[in-house]
Chains A and B, each alone.
Chain A
Amino acid sequence: MKTLRLKNNLQQFVDEIDKISGINLRDCYQCGKCSAGCPMVMQMDYPPSKLIRHIQLGEREQVLTSSTIWVCVSCLTCSTRCPKDVEIAGLMDVCRELSIKEGLATREQRKIQQFHKSFLETIRSNGRLYEVMLIAKYKLRALALFQDVAKTPKMLLTGKLKLLPHKIENVEAINKIFEECDK
């Protein structure tokens, strides 16, 4: 049996993703199983299977500006159930990385992006997660009122939020790793 190939430049985006990650989206036959089990589908503009269809059709910008890639919580239900072994959750990671590189996220999507960014900065300066710093940074960034204000005092009282960072000894090694990986 021969596989039907889409013509000329339509395949570019599929090829690009394949090249970056080895994820093959030609295999997806749109059965919809990934979307059926996705817990975050209610917040997505395109369910996972539809996102893949857009990629197959070469609609790069539509995909990289979609809420789907930021709303995906990486639960891996889709990848686990796909009858064609498409690494859908991994695809979301690839799309997020591309979207950041190209500055394509919208304002609402940036909230999640900023959270990741604050998280990584905290790691970079301490080697470990320092939760109070993460919350402060994220709050400033997202300009969103931290919804957990009411929870914070109890967390401090019970010793669940530490006021002093857990700094590791060799923070330099962590800095090097970040420099290397940011290239």
Chain B
Amino acid sequence: MKLGYYPGCALEGSSKDYSMSLERVFKEIGVELEPIQDWNCCGASAAHSTNHKLALALPARNLALAKEQELTELFAPCPFCSKTLINTNQDILDNKYKVENGNYDGKIKVINSVDIFTRLMDKIQPKVNQERLKDLKVACYYGCLLVRPPKLLKYDDPEQPTSMDEVVKKLGAQTVDWEFKIECCGGGFTVCNEDAVLELSNKILEDAQENGAQAIIVACQMCQINLDMRQTAIEKKYNVSYNMPIIYLPQLIGLAMGIEPKELGLNMHFVPTEGVTVQAQNNPV
């Protein structure tokens, strides 16, 4: 099976662990990713914050290229990219935007970073041994753009989403109830507004810990960076201790399949992930 793929910039650079784990898991279940040839950046928050036209034109080029490649479905692991692609599609369908010298019709289906695993569960499940993660309690963190804006994305419940929890439970792990599933971590302000990121991410970590989570599961590289790379700074600023591994959903899937942590990029995190990986490897299966 082949699947259209829009990796997005972060997965080529600072979030290599995310792309590594995705590619490894897809290899395991025999799904071939077909990237858009010569894809470009979707413009991220810089474009939509400062130039509305650009925020449509950049993703539109990618969609038009995907059409040329005859892709009908496109998996975009970054929630920002996938939202931007869906938004561009919608504007094309609503005749609010037209792709220049192209006949792209807005109809390529864009699939987000959780939905893809729900859809592929029949291929994942046979490779998983639920014993591996049976003692692990995790908090599933959805953040902003997997579920918002609900009218555009039409995905899960915008206040109480459960899709990621469902996937995680099928892997054998336990999910905790907590309050911060959809709160913002500070998103793209990692570099230019550090105070905000520390404050918001601290609340997320605090609530996850209070509710007994041993790790937070994410499906967005911005969330991962803010909660993982910034965790030491957060602990220092607020005089707290979390030591909370921030694991990508495909990394957890890989562990449930018995794949080596290194092959999933789990050694590339700032907060050590051994608390999770050792459990997965030592549980008798």
Contact = CB atoms under 8 A, between A and B. Distances in A.
Interface of A: 21, 39-40, 42-43, 71, 73-77, 79-80, 89, 92-94, 96-97, 100, 111-117, 119-120, 123, 127-131, 135, 138, 142, 146-148, 151, 154-155, 158-162, 166, 168-170, 173-174, 177-178, 180-182
A73 B186 contact: yes
Contact of B191 (A148, A158, A166, A180): A148
B228 to A, nearest CB: 11
B148 interface: yes
A172 to B, nearest CB: 11
A37 B150 CA distance: 16
B58 A177 contact: yes
B9 A129 contact: yes
B128 interface: no
Given A76-B148, A180-B57, A96 B49 contact: yes
Size class of the B contact interface (CB-based, 8 Å) = 35 or more
A43 B196 contact: yes
A152 to B, nearest CB: 11
A70 B188 CA distance: 12
A117 B47 CA distance: 9
A93 B49 contact: yes
B188 A73 contact: yes
> Which residue, A21, A80, A142, A168, has most C-beta atoms of chain B within 10 A?
A80
Given A76-B144, A116-B46, A123-B41, A166 B52 contact: no
B14 A115 contact: no
A159 B194 contact: no
